Homo-oligomer: A and B are copies of this chain.
Amino acid sequence: MLKVLKFGGTSVGNLERIQNVANIIKKIKDEGHDVIAVVSAMSGETNKLIEYAESFSKTPKLEEIDMLLSSGERVTSALLSIALNEQGYKATSMSGREAGIVTDNSHTKARIESIDSSKMKKAISEGNIIIVAGFQGVAMNTNRVSTLGRGGSDLTAVAIAGAIEADVCEIYTDVDGIYTTDPRIEPKAKKLEKISYDEMLELASLGAKVLQNRSVEMAKKLNVNLVSRSSFTPEVEGTLITKEENIMEKPVVSGIALDKNQVRVGMYGVTDKPGIAASIFTSLADADINVDMIVQTVGVDGATDLDFTIPTTDLEICKNVMKNFEKDARKIDYNESICKVSIVGVGMKSHTGVASKAFSSLAKENINIRIISTSEIKVSMIIDEKYAELAVRSLHEAYSLDK
């Protein structure tokens, strides 16, 4: 098999850990696989360099930031190659440029446009393990080094796996896979063996520290089999994120996600004026505010109430936008003491009664549901934040996820 492996900053955080990663790679190579490993900068390095830059300028030129930040991954790739060579393995480092990665011209948040994998293919055919400096490429117009922004090394790995048609792309972090829910909340949470791309995207909060949505979306698009596993316990099989067709037994519910970073905005007694809702949500979108759930209720007296949720980080901007609409409502309030609990599963498509089981499960605990929204594979509920953990645990049990 041809395997693309990705090791994040924590996995290569010091010299001992880089040696540990070399050992993982050796074992996989010894099993007869070809290996391309994508590495991040040693943890802390990138932040240190950003601090350096910010000491000179609050608005540095983005091309220079890319020149600066791309150095960290180069260091790790060379060190890991040296460690492998010392053990008698043929290994070669490659910068993003050498690996043939071409991006658009959006420095510091570039998107990969194409990968010329010929150099990598040649190196692999000569028996080399390739260590690619992640997070970087070359901007197509200027030919200068570019970086891919947050989660960039994951993207590098997934894109290479797609371009070179690797059998699997394994993302190594300090977590050994995706769980049915956050094990810190529900110790009975179980590691999932397989999960579909779409489920993973909906369970983002469970994988937030493990897989960024941007990488999962790219894996879905390029049909790359993604594995989330740990560099600290490499003997433990991780979770395979793959296309739905590859999952034979489709569980009705795969996992329970919790998101506490939500604010509920309530507009009461909204003026009965055509297009008022459209006007509000256009203004919020223009301000780059990501509105999540929306509920509109019309009371018996004809007065309309509008409820919606936004990320906590957007609260101040949202308040500013909403000032323009104060005249259109009797009252506007903001409730930060809420959270969103979601149940996710591809099996929902073909099963009925999934949502109602959630509602009754919460009702049994006297938890009021403020807003509900559903998609093909997800049911999300806004509840009071104080019930967050209780709700997760009762839903986890209701769908027998600990079995």
Spell out A's residues near B (CB within 8 Å): 15, 18-19, 22, 49, 52-53, 55-57, 59-61, 63-65, 67-68, 70-72, 74-75, 77-79, 81-83, 85-86, 92-93, 95, 98, 143-145
Contacts and interface: CB of A to CB of B under 8 A. Distances in A.
A98 B93 CA distance: 20
16 contacts: A15-B56, A19-B56, A52-B75, A52-B79, A56-B86, A57-B82, A57-B83, A59-B86, A64-B78, A65-B78, A68-B78, A68-B79, A71-B71, A71-B74, A98-B143, A98-B144
Contacts of A57: 82-83, 85-86
A143 B118 CA distance: 14
Across chains A and B, which 8 residue pairs bring their CB atoms closest together, nearest first? A68-B78, A57-B86, A71-B71, A67-B78, A56-B83, A60-B82, A64-B78, A56-B82
B82 A71 contact: no
A387 B49 CA distance: 51
Contact of A68 (B74, B86, B145): B74
Among A67, A75, A93, residue most surrounded by chain B Cβ atoms (within 10 Å): A67
Contact of A49 (B22, B55, B70, B75): B75
A79 B53 contact: yes
Chain copies in the assembly?
2
Contacts of A93: 63-64, 67
Among A59, A64, A72, A74, residue most surrounded by chain B Cβ atoms (within 10 Å): A64
B81 A61 contact: yes
A49 B55 CA distance: 24
Contacts of A61: 81-82, 85
Among A18, A81, A145, residue most surrounded by chain B Cβ atoms (within 10 Å): A81
Contact of A95 (B56, B59, B67, B75): B67
Nearest to A84: B56
Contacts of A15: 52, 55-56
Contacts of A79: 52-53, 56, 68
Contacts of A68: 74-75, 78-79, 82
A92 B74 CA distance: 21
A108 to B, nearest CB: 12
A149 B302 CA distance: 81
Contacts of A59: 86
A12 to B, nearest CB: 11
Contacts of A64: 78, 81-82, 85, 92-93
Nearest to A41: B71
A85 B93 CA distance: 32
Contacts of A82: 53, 56-57, 60-61, 64-65, 68
